[in-house]
C-alpha cells in the first residue's frame, strides 16, 4: 500500500465502511484498517459449518430514508421479509416485547395489576425532578412495582451494575416519550381501531444470509480502495493539532499510513491511549473511566427444523445466566442447513470476569442445561456449538460518565483532521443506521459539507415507533 491517502478510516464496522463507501463513490483515495480478519464489527454474521448467526440477532430499522434506500440498493435481491415477534419469558410465562403495559397487567393478574396502577398513580402525584439514573426514569414513568418486575433484573443483568448507577440518558435514548399512561392510552386507542396500519414494527426486511451482508456489500463497493484486514491500529502520531499518521500491525509486519484526514470508529478510550505524544494525564484518566459492557455469544445447533416462532426471547430472571436468545431460522430460513436450526444465547459480562474466560465447552454446556430447563430443547438434539466473545458491545453510560466523556471530546476537538464516528468510536448507544449515518456525514464533511456528528440519534421521540 503506497502513497498518501485523502482519508484513512480506522475500523471496518458499519460506521467506518459507510464513511469509506461515501468517499470511494466521490473518487477519494481512502484506506480502511481493520483488526479482525473480516469486516462488519458488531454487525457481522458468523458462519459455522453451514449455520449462520449474528452477534445477537440484528434487525435493521431506520427512519432515515437515504440510509434505508442505500441498504435496499446494496442488498438488491437478497432481502427477505421477517416477522417480528419478540417476547419476555419470566415467571414461566411469555409477555410482549417491547413491553405493552396492558399485556403485562393482564398477564400478572388482578392483584398485581392493581398494585402496579396504584403505585403508578402515587408516583404521578409526587413532585417531578430530573431523573439522574435509569431507576429514577423508569420509576417516574412506569412506577416502582413495574420497574421491580420488568426492568430491574434485566437491566442489571445487561449492565452488571445496579440501576441507580446507570445513567437516565441511556433509557431516555431508547424509550423516549413512553410512559405507563401513554402506553395504556395507546393500547386503548388501538383496541378501538378496526384496522391497524401495517408498521415496520411487526415485519422487517432482513438479509437472507445474515446482517453481515450489509458490511460485506459496503466493503465490496469500497474496492479498489484497500480494506486492510487483520491489521490492528497501535499508534497515532500527531503534531501541530493534526494527526500525521497511523501505525498498524498484524502478526508479522507493521505499516504506517499517512492521509489528509482520519475517521475513527475504534473504541474511543483505545484511541486516546494510542496518541503519540500522549494526551495530558487528566484525559488519560478520563479514558480509563469510560467502560464498555462485553458479551459472549453461544450458538447451539439443534437437530430439529425449528424450536420457536419468535425473533427474540428476553430472559430477565437472574437464575438464567444469559439475557436473550434468538433463533436465526426465524429471521431467514437460509441461516441453517435444511431440517436443522440453532438457538443463540447472549451473555453479558465484563471481559475480566469468569464468564468471559470460561472454555467454549463449559459455556456450551451451561447454555444447553438452561435451554433444556426452560423447555426449548433436549440435550440429545444438540449437534454442535460455537462461542464468540465480543468486546466493547455496549457503551456503559454510568451516572457521571458525561464528565469524563466531555474531557475527552474537548481534548480531541483540537485535532482538525480527526472525526469520531459510530457506536464504539463515539461512545454513543447507536444502532446500525445511526452508525452508518455518522460515517456518511463524516465523509461528507471532508467534501465541504458541515455536519455535527453529535447530533445524530438525538431526535426526541420513541426510537422504534413508526406511525
Residue 439, CA distances (Å) to 8, 18, 69 in order = 12, 5, 16
Out of 8, 56, 155, 236, the residue judged to bind ligand FAD by CB under 6 A: 56
Does 35 bind ligand FAD (CB under 6 A)? Our answer is yes
Binding segment toward ligand FAD, per CB under 6 A, in 89-97, 176-184, 422-430, 441-449: 422-430
Does 24 bind ligand FAD (CB under 6 A)? Our answer is no
Out of 9, 20, 46, 55, the residue judged to bind ligand FAD by CB under 6 A: 55
Give kind and range of the element (H or E) at residue 18. helix 14-25
Out of 7, 8, 9, 14, the residue judged to bind ligand FAD by CB under 6 A: 14
Positions 237 through 276 that interact with ligand FAD (CB under 6 A): 265-267, 270
Cell of 458: 438525538
Does 351 bind ligand FAD (CB under 6 A)? Our answer is no
> What is the distance of C-alpha 391 from the center of its chain?
12
The least CB distance from residue 350 to ligand FAD, in Å, is: 14
Does 424 bind ligand FAD (CB under 6 A)? Our answer is yes
The 3-class SS string of 342-394 reads EEEEEEEECCCCHHHHCCHHHHHHHHHHHHHHCCCCCHHHEEEEEEEEEEEEE
CA distance 347 to 208: 25
Does 82 bind ligand FAD (CB under 6 A)? Our answer is no
Cell of 348: 453479558
The least CB distance from residue 382 to ligand FAD, in Å, is: 22
The least CB distance from residue 223 to ligand FAD, in Å, is: 17
Strand partners, 343: 300
Give kind and range of the element (H or E) at residue 72. helix 65-74
Please give the full DSSP string across 206-227, using - where no structure is assigned. EETT-THHHHHHHHHHHTTS-E
Binding residues for ligand FAD, total number by CB under 6 A: 37
Does 36 bind ligand FAD (CB under 6 A)? Our answer is yes
Does 332 bind ligand FAD (CB under 6 A)? Our answer is no
The least CB distance from residue 3 to ligand FAD, in Å, is: 20
CA distance 314 to 104: 14
Positions 368 through 397 that interact with ligand FAD (CB under 6 A): 393
Q: Spell out the residues 6+ positions from residue 185 whose beta carbon is closer than 8 angstroms to its own.
A: none
Please report, as ranges, the residues that interact with ligand FAD according to CB under 6 A: 10-16, 33-36, 41-43, 55-56, 58-60, 232-233, 265-267, 270, 295, 346, 393, 422-425, 430-433, 435
Amino acid at each position: 500500500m503506497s502513497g498518501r491517502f485523502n482519508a484513512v478510516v480506522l475500523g471496518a464496522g458499519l460506521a467506518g465502511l459507510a464513511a469509506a463507501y461515501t468517499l470511494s463513490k466521490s473518487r477519494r483515495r481512502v484506506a480502511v484498517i481493520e483488526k479482525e480478519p473480516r469486516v462488519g464489527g458488531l454487525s457481522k454474521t458468523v458462519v459455522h459449518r453451514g449455520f449462520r448467526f449474528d452477534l445477537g440477532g440484528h434487525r435493521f430499522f431506520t427512519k432515515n430514508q437515504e440510509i434505508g434506500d442505500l441498504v435496499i440498493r446494496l442488498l438488491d435481491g437478497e432481502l427477505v421479509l421477517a416477522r417480528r415477534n419478540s417476547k419476555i419469558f419470566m415467571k414461566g410465562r411469555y409477555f410482549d416485547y417491547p413491553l405493552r403495559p396492558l399485556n403485562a397487567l393482564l398477564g400478572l393478574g388482578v392483584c398485581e395489576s392493581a398494585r402496579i396502577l396504584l403505585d403508578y398513580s402515587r408516583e404521578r402525584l409526587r413532585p417531578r425532578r430530573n431523573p439522574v439514573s435509569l431507576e429514577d426514569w423508569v420509576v417516574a414513568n412506569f412506577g416502582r412495582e413495574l420497574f421491580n418486575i420488568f426492568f430491574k433484573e434485566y437491566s442489571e443483568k445487561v449492565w452488571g451494575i445496579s440501576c441507580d448507577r446507570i445513567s437516565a440518558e441511556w433509557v431516555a435514548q431508547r424509550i423516549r416519550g413512553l410512559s405507563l399512561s401513554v402506553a395504556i392510552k395507546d393500547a386503548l386507542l388501538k383496541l378501538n381501531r378496526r384496522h391497524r396500519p401495517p408498521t415496520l414494527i411487526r415485519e422487517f426486511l432482513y438479509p437472507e444470509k445474515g446482517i453481515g451482508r450489509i458490511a460485506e456489500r459496503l466493503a465490496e463497493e469500497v474496492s479498489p480502495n484497500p480494506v486492510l484486514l487483520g491489521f490492528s491500529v497501535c499508534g497515532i502520531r500527531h503534531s501541530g493539532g493534526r494527526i500525521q499518521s497511523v501505525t498498524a500491525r498484524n502478526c508479522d509486519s507493521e505499516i504506517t499510513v499517512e492521509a489528509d484526514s482520519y475517521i475513527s470508529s475504534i473504541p474511543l478510550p483505545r484511541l486516546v491511549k494510542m496518541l503519540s505524544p500522549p494526551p495530558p494525564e487528566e484525559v488519560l484518566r478520563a479514558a480509563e473511566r469510560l467502560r464498555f459492557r462485553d458479551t459472549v455469544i453461544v450458538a447451539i445447533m439443534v437437530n430439529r427444523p425449528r424450536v420457536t416462532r419468535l425473533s427474540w426471547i428476553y430472559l430477565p430472571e437472574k437464575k438464567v445466566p444469559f439475557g436473550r436468545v434468538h433463533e436465526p431460522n426465524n429471521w431467514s430460513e437460509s441461516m441453517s442447513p435444511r431440517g436443522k436450526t440453532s438457538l443463540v444465547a447472549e451473555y453479558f459480562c465484563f471481559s475480566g470476569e469468569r464468564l468471559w474466560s470460561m472454555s467454549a465447552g463449559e459455556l456450551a454446556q451451561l447454555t444447553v442445561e438452561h435451554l433444556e430447563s426452560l423447555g426449548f430443547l433436549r440435550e440429545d438434539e444438540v449437534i454442535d456449538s460455537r462461542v464468540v466473545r465480543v468486546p466493547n458491545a455496549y457503551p456503559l453510560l454510568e451516572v457521571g460518565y458525561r464528565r469524563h466523556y466531555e474531557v475527552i471530546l474537548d481534548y480531541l476537538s483540537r485535532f482538525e483532521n480527526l472525526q469520531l464516528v459510530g457506536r464504539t468510536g463515539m461512545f454513543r448507544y447507536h444502532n446500525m443506521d445511526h452508525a452508518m449515518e455518522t460515517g456518511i456525514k463524516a465523509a461528507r464533511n471532508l467534501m465541504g459539507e458541515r455536519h455535527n456528528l453529535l447530533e445524530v440519534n438525538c431526535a426526541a421521540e420513541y426510537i422504534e415507533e413508526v406511525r
